Amino acid sequence: MKSKVYFSRTITPEKVLELYQLLGKELSGRVAVKVHSGETGNQNFLRPEFWKPMIDSVGGTVVECNTAYEGTRDTTKKHQKTIQEHGWNRYFDVDIMDGEGPDMVLPIENGKIIQ
């Protein structure tokens, strides 16, 4: 079966919702919506106001992960501050998926540790 691909030159909250509705699929249960909450000082991310109609439509919880590189999202405390500064928690519950407990280290044979 061939996959259907939907494309739009229009990038608006309404168009995202329309494309989702074209799928004809209902998401049930607990829905996680993975976003990029944006780096401090970087304006190249879609803001929470953009995603609000879509996330509200599916009753979703915003999920994010801390980064493996240095910045304002590499620890849970700094990431929560960035989420607040960018307004995500004004509209949504935000779950930082790796926000609790120590980091899990998985040894990879012949792997490199990123500094």
Judge whether 73 and 106 are in contact, CB under 8 Å.
Answer: no
The length of the chain is 115
Q: List, for residues 4-25, the tens digit of each pLDDT value.
A: 888 899 999 999 999 999 999 9
Distance CA 40, CA 79 (A): 10
User: 67-89, pLDDT tens digit by residue?
Assistant: 888 899 988 999 999 999 999 99
- Given a cut of 90, whether residue 55 has pLDDT beyond it is yes
Exposed (0-12), middle (13-18) or buried (19+): which is 71, by Cβ within 10 Å?
A: middle
Q: What is the pTM of this model?
A: 0.78
User: Mean pLDDT over all residues of the chain?
Assistant: 90
- The per-residue pLDDT for 105 is 67
Confidence category of residue 61, pLDDT binned at 50, 70, 90? very high
pLDDT for 109:
87
Q: What is the pLDDT of residue 111?
A: 82
Q: What pLDDT does 85 receive? A: 95
Instruction: Give whole-number Cα distances, 49 to 30, 37, 53, 75, 104, in Å.
Output: 21, 12, 8, 25, 33
Q: What share of the chain is helix, strand, coil (3-state, %, to 5)?
A: 30, 10, 60
Using CB atoms within 10 Å of the CB of residue 35, give its burial: 0 to 12 exposed, 13 to 18 middle, 19+ buried: buried
Q: What is the pLDDT of residue 42?
A: 85
53, 18 contact by CB (below 8 A): no
Q: Which pLDDT score is estimated for 1?
A: 84
